[in-house]
Structures are given as C-alpha cells and as structure tokens.
Amino acid sequence: MQGIYLDNNATTRVDPVVLDTMLPYFSDLYGNPSSIHSFGFEVGKAMVNARRQVQSLLGAEYDSEIIFTSCGSESDNTAIRSALEAMPDRREIITSCVEHPAILELCDYLESQQGYTVHRLNVDEKGRIDLDQYQQLLSDRVAIVSIMWANNETGTIFPIEQMASMAKPFGCVFHTDAVQAVGKVPIKLAGSDIDMLSMSGHKIHAPKGIGVLYVRRGARYRPWLRGGHQERGRRAGTENTTSIIGLGKAAELAELHVDTMNTKIKALRDKLQAGILDQISHCFVTGDPEHRTANTLNIAFEYIEGEAILLMLNQFGIAASSGSACTSGSLEPSHVMRAMKIPQTAAHGSIRFSLSRYTREKDIDKVLEVIPGIIERLRSISPYWQQLQKGHVEGFTPAFG
C-alpha cells in the first residue's frame, strides 16, 4: 500500500527479512517443537535461537527468563495476576494514570470486582511521574508496581530503573510495560531491580499476535494459562512458532537499529516538529520534550478537532493518529491528555506522529508541505477560532463533544 505511514506506535510493517525468516516454518518446517522427532527438533532449535535473540535485545541475564505470549496485553495481565496470586495477603497495586488500557482496565476490574486498592500515580503537565507521591505509596501492602517505560501517546520516558530500585526494599513485584520502549531505548535488565517486563512483536516490525513477558529468575511467578508444559510450564498452549521465530529476527534487527533510531530517526522527528511549530501558530508539543522516545511527536493544535486533521491527512495518503477517542457518541480527549491537564481547546486537536526506521526525509517534507493548509482550512470553519480572531473569546463555549 502506497502512502506515508507515521503511525508506528500503533503498529509497524513486518520487516521483509523477518518475513523471509518465517516463511519456511509455514511449510517445510512445520513440526511441533514439543515433539521428539526431527520435525519438531528443527523447530525447537529455531525457537531456542529466537529466545536468545530477545534475551540479547532486552539485556536479560538468562534466556530462560523469556516467556513467549500472544501479545503485550496478555503479558501485562499475566504479570499483575501472577503477583496477586503469589502474594495473596497484599491487596494494593501501584500504577499510573497514563498507562495503556491493558493495565488500566484490568486495575479497574480488580478494584471494583475483587476489592483491591489501586493507587494511580499522577503526572505533571509534561506527563512526568510524581516520584514523591510514589515513594509515599510504597509499602509492604503493595503486591505489584506496574509502570510503563514509555508512554504510547507522547513518548515520555519514565525513570523505570530508579522506580524499580525504590520498590525493592518493600518486597513488591516491579513490572514495566515496555511495549513502546523496546527497540527505541537501550535496555539492560541484567543487574536491574525490574522483575517483569512486557513487550509486543508488532511494535518492532514482527507480526501481530506475538509478545514476550520477561520474568527475572527468582521472581515470584504464577502462570495464568495452565495446561501443557510449554514455556517451562509458565504459559500453556502450543507455541506460535512462526511468529516466535519472526520475533527473534525482529529483535535482532531492532538491537542493530537502536542507534539509528536515536540519531537518524530522531533528527527526522525533530525536523517535523520544528517545521510544524515554525509554520503554524497556536500549537505545542505535549509530553516531555527532553525525555521521550526518539520516534514520537505529539502536537496539540488548538481550536480544531484531531479526527478532522486525520481525515484530511489521509486524503494526502498520510497516516497518523489522534489523542481523542469517540466514547458514547461524544468526542473526549484521551486519558493521557486529561491527566496532563492539556486545555480542552488543545486536547481535542492532539495528533501523534510516530516514525520508524522506514521513515524517509521526503515523507517528512510532504507532511510539512500539506499540514499548514489543513490546519488553516479547519480553523477557517471553527467557531472558536473565528471568535478568537475577533477577540470575542470570553465566555465562549467550544463546540467540542
């Protein structure tokens, strides 16, 4: 499909090398790795290699610390449920108010239906965690702390290693949803105080439907899926061998491209940011500009709606995403924008551009060519913008939602 794809925090294209690595395991090498015959043995060897490739990307000490799952959401759910089952006397959870729904929805359920106490850490206007609040909430009543390594909307990076060390004296499990961080920031789990980590294949140019849960050797763990002996008894179910092997190759490539991500791709992201801010008034970067993933730019355009921007970008073959979601028939800013207290007139117009190693400078040039006209056109039909231009904004209610 032709076009400019700048929605890589949502999903990435499968790398052609990854696809080529997978193809034989759909046809000639189709054995079950649990079987003892040669058909299964050959597939099992490839899985061992894939596990080591993921281990290397994560800087884990042992390949046995890598558990293959179906996705990041399964990994997140497994980590939290495991900690609660392993420490039934501890009835508290610490997370943040800007987590992915895979964490927030589960925590809401555990709080409302299971009687757990969930502490949701606040963030400031740049999306940074309140570490003082975190320190005050840590206690021997907490079963698990689950904090994302990098935010999916703004790219803001949290001080995960520091937070894990702060939790260690209290004996609680420390888990991080690193779905948006893996392949973008250097990670070295060996020697850290991180007990569990979630990652997802389709964020690093592997196929959808494959993920990883890292479990530090010695950490308390209880399997969620029970049945067969797969994954050393920690995750039952016949392994998704082709996707696991593809994930291994994708992990190898991601490790090779971390420096590229933080140099070349970061430079393209910064060019896009500078070009937008230079050409368009009444817009600003959300999140922490100094501590964010190198591929992510979230810009709030004031006085217009994000969905309208996306639709017009799509007419030029440009894919991005919005910080708003349609809920119950009304347009509401995302929970991340609300947590950062982004003004209503800007939160509705937040747009996320997320780049990958396939992003080219000509892609950025095209966006910078068309987006000023898009914003101008949308503002020309915005009642709030018209009132602003007339100087009649006091007491005016924006027509959002």
Q: What are phi and psi of 56, to 5 degrees?
A: -65, -45
42-78, pLDDT tens digit by residue?
999 999 999 999 999 999 999 999 999 999 999 999 9
Say how far apart CA 365 and CA 353 lie, in whole Å.
14
Per-residue confidence at 92, pLDDT binned at 50, 70, 90?
A: very high
Region 138-164 average pLDDT: 98
- DSSP-derived letter for residue 207 is P
Q: pLDDT value at position 178?
A: 98
Say how far apart CA 48 and CA 64 lie, in whole Å.
10
Decide if pLDDT at 382 tops 90. no
Output the CA–CA distances (angstroms, integers) from residue 199 to 132, 148, 175, 213, 282, in the order listed.
28, 11, 11, 7, 36
Per-residue confidence at 98, pLDDT binned at 50, 70, 90?
A: very high
On the 0-12 / 13-18 / 19+ scale of CB atoms within 10 A, 28 is exposed
Put residue 146 in one of left, alpha, beta given phi > 0 → left and psi -120 to 50 → alpha.
Answer: beta
Helix segments in 35-100, DSSP class H: 38-58, 72-86
Domains along the sequence of the chain with CATH: 15-254 (3.40.640.10), 258-390 (3.90.1150.10)
Q: Which residues of 318-351 are buried (b: 16+ CB within 10 A; e: fewer)?
A: bbbbbbbeeeeeeebbbbbbebbebeebbbbbbb
Say how far apart CA 291 and CA 266 lie, in whole Å.
12
326 is catalytic: yes
Decide if pLDDT at 375 tops 80. yes
Per-residue confidence at 346, pLDDT binned at 50, 70, 90?
A: very high
Q: pLDDT value at position 384?
A: 77
Tell me the average pLDDT of the chain: 93
Q: pLDDT value at position 1?
A: 66
Report field, pTM of the whole predicted structure over 0.85: yes
Region 180-198 average pLDDT: 98
Q: Which of 71, 107, 172, 326 is catalytic?
A: 326
